Amino acid sequence: MSLSSASSNSERVHFERSLRRLEQDVLRMGALVENSFRLSHQALFSQNLEAAKSLPLLDKQIDRYYRQIELDCATLMTLEAPVAQDLRLLSAFMQLVRDLERIGDYAEDLAEIAIKLLPYPPHACLPQIEVMSHHAQAMLATSLVALADLDANAGRSIKELDDKVDTAYDTLYHTLAHQQDIQGIVEPILLLALVIRHLERMADHATNIGQRVTYIVTGHR
Amino acid sequence: MTLLAFLLGLALGIGFWLWQRQRLQRQLKQMLGVLQTDASSTAMSVVSRLRQEIAQANEHRSQLEERLQTWRRLLEVAPLGYLQVDEENRLLWCNEQARHLLQIDRWEPRQLRLLLELVRSYELDQLIEQTRHQQKPTIQEWVFHPPCLDGEAMGEVRSLTLRASSWPLPHGDVGVFLENRQPLIELAQSRNQWFSDLAHELRTPLTSIRLVAEALQGRLENPARRWVEQLLQETNRLINLIQNWLELSNLEKNPSKSLTYQSLELRSLIQSAWQTLEPLAQQKQLCLAYVGPDTLWIRADEARLTQVFLNLFDNSIKHSHRQGTIRVEVTATEAPVLDSEETVDSLLFSNASDQPDGDASPSLIQIDMIDAGSGFADSDLPHVFKRLYRGDPSRQKSQGTSEPFTLVGSSGSGLGLSIIQQIIQAHGGTVHARNHPETGGAWLQIKLPDHKNLS
**Which of B120, B257, B348 has its CB closest to that of A27?**
B120
So what's the pLDDT on residue B405? 35
Whether A148 sits inside 8 A of B345 (CB atoms) is: no
- Average pLDDT score over residue span B194-207: 88
B327 has pLDDT over 70: yes
Instruction: Identify the helix (H) or strand (E) that includes residue B149.
Output: none
Give the confidence band of B258 by pLDDT, cuts at 50, 70, 90. low
Distance from CA of B295 to the nearest CA of A (A): 30
Which residues of B fall within a CB distance of 8 Å from A61?
348-349, 351, 354
Distance from CA of B59 to the nearest CA of A (A): 36
So what's the pLDDT on residue B36? 60
> Residue B329 forms beta bridges with which residues?
B291, B368
- Average pLDDT score over residue span B265-270: 86
So what's the pLDDT on residue B68? 95
**Is the CB of B145 inside 8 Å of chain A's CB atoms?**
yes
Nearest residue on chain B to A128, judged by CA atoms? B152
Give the confidence band of A8 by pLDDT, cuts at 50, 70, 90. low
- Average pLDDT score over residue span B160-185: 93
Angle (CA) B267 B304 B437, round 5°: 60
pLDDT in tens, B54-70: 898 899 999 999 999 99
B180 has pLDDT over 90: yes
A25 has pLDDT over 90: yes
Task: Spell out the domains of chain B, with CATH numbers in brackets.
Answer: 79-145+159-180 (3.30.450.20), 258-349+361-398+410-450 (3.30.565.10)
- Average pLDDT score over residue span B161-173: 93
Distance from CA of A220 to the nearest CA of B (A): 24
| Alpha-carbon torsion (B312, B314, B320, B323), positive or negative | positive
Which residues of B fall within a CB distance of 8 Å from A27?
114, 116-117, 120
DSSP readout, A109-148?
HHHHHHHHHTTSPPPTTHHHHHHHHHHHHHHHHHHHHHHH
* Pick from B8-22, B93-107, B114-128, B290-304: least confident: B290-304
Parallel, antiparallel, or unpaired: how do β-strands B325-333 and B287-291 relate? Answer: parallel
Cα B82 to Cα B162: distance, rounded to the nearest angstrom: 12
Rounded to two decimals, the ipTM of the complex is 0.89
Cα A42 to Cα A29: distance, rounded to the nearest angstrom: 20
**Which of B149, B353, B455 has its CB closest to that of A142?**
B149
φ and ψ at B82, to 5 degrees?
-140, 135
pLDDT in tens, B99-137: 999 988 888 878 888 999 999 999 999 999 999 999 999
Q: Which of B304, B436, B295, B426 is nearest to B371 (CA)?
A: B436
B225 has pLDDT over 90: no
**Which of A23, A49, A144 has its CB closest to that of B120?**
A144
Fill in the amino acid letter for B24.
Answer: L
A4 has pLDDT over 80: no
Note which residues in 136-165 of chain A have CB less than 8 A from chain B.
136-139, 141-142, 144-145, 148-149, 161, 164
**Residue count of chain A:** 221
Q: Which domain holds residue A107?
A: 10-218
So what's the pLDDT on residue B38? 58
B380 has pLDDT over 50: yes
* Pick from A40-54, A67-81, A102-116, B317-331: least confident: B317-331
pLDDT in tens, B73-86: 999 999 999 999 99
So what's the pLDDT on residue B260? 76
Is the CB of residue B429 less than 8 Å from the CB of residue B447? Answer: yes
Give the confidence band of B392 by pLDDT, cuts at 50, 70, 90. low
**Which of B106, B149, B257 has its CB closest to that of A141?**
B149
Most confident of B167-171, B342-346, B351-355: B167-171
Whether B120 sits inside 8 A of A21 (CB atoms) is: no
In a domain, A22, yes or no: yes
Distance from CA of A1 to the nearest CA of B (A): 6
Distance from CA of B353 to the nearest CA of A (A): 10
So what's the pLDDT on residue B129? 94
CB under 8 A, 24+ apart: contacts of B391-398: B395/B319, B397/B318, B397/B319
Q: Which of B82, B160, B96, B175 is nearest to B128 (CA)?
A: B175
Q: Which of B343, B416, B428 is nearest to B385 (CA)?
A: B416
**Is the CB of B343 inside 8 Å of chain A's CB atoms?**
no
So what's the pLDDT on residue B409? 37
Nearest residue on chain A to B121, judged by CA atoms? A31
Cα B192 to Cα B202: distance, rounded to the nearest angstrom: 15
- Average pLDDT score over residue span A66-71: 95
The domain that holds A41 is classified in CATH as 1.20.58.220
B344 has pLDDT over 70: no
Total tally of structural domains belonging to chain A: 1
- Encode B276-335 in three state secondary structure: HCHHHHHHCCCEEEEECCCCCEEEECHHHHHHHHHHHHHHHHHHCCCCCEEEEEEEEECC
**Is the CB of A28 inside 8 Å of chain B's CB atoms?**
yes
In a domain, A41, yes or no: yes
Mean confidence (pLDDT) of chain B: 81
In a domain, A122, yes or no: yes
| Alpha-carbon torsion (A146, A149, A151, A157), positive or negative | negative
**Which of B117, B151, B357 has its CB closest to that of A148?**
B117
Whether A31 sits inside 8 A of B356 (CB atoms) is: no
φ and ψ at A14, to 5 degrees?
-65, -40
In a domain, A4, yes or no: no
Whether B120 sits inside 8 A of A30 (CB atoms) is: yes
So what's the pLDDT on residue B338? 44
So what's the pLDDT on residue B343? 39
In a domain, A148, yes or no: yes
Most confident of A16-20, A31-35, B32-36, B269-273: A31-35
**Is the CB of B93 inside 8 Å of chain A's CB atoms?**
no
In a domain, A5, yes or no: no
pLDDT in tens, A92-138: 999 999 999 999 999 999 999 999 998 888 888 999 999 999 999 99
Enumerate residues 6+ apart whose C-beta is below 8 A from A152: A213, A214, A217, A218
- Average pLDDT score over residue span B290-314: 85
Within 10 angstroms of residue A134's Cβ, the number of other Cβ atoms is 20
- Burial class from Cβ neighbours inside 10 Å (0-12, 13-18, 19+) for residue B163 reads middle
Fill in the amino acid letter for B16.
Answer: F
DSSP secondary structure letter of residue B234? H
Q: Where are the alpha helices (DSSP H) in chain A?
A: 10-45, 49-80, 84-117, 126-149, 154-177, 187-218
Most confident of A1-15, A178-192, B170-184, B409-423: B170-184
Which residues of A fall within a CB distance of 8 Å from B345?
50, 54
So what's the pLDDT on residue B341? 38
Is the CB of residue B140 less than 8 Å from the CB of residue B156? Answer: no
**Is the CB of A210 inside 8 Å of chain B's CB atoms?**
no
Give the confidence band of B452 by pLDDT, cuts at 50, 70, 90. low
Angle (CA) B124 B129 B131, round 5°: 95
Give the confidence band of B359 by pLDDT, cuts at 50, 70, 90. very low
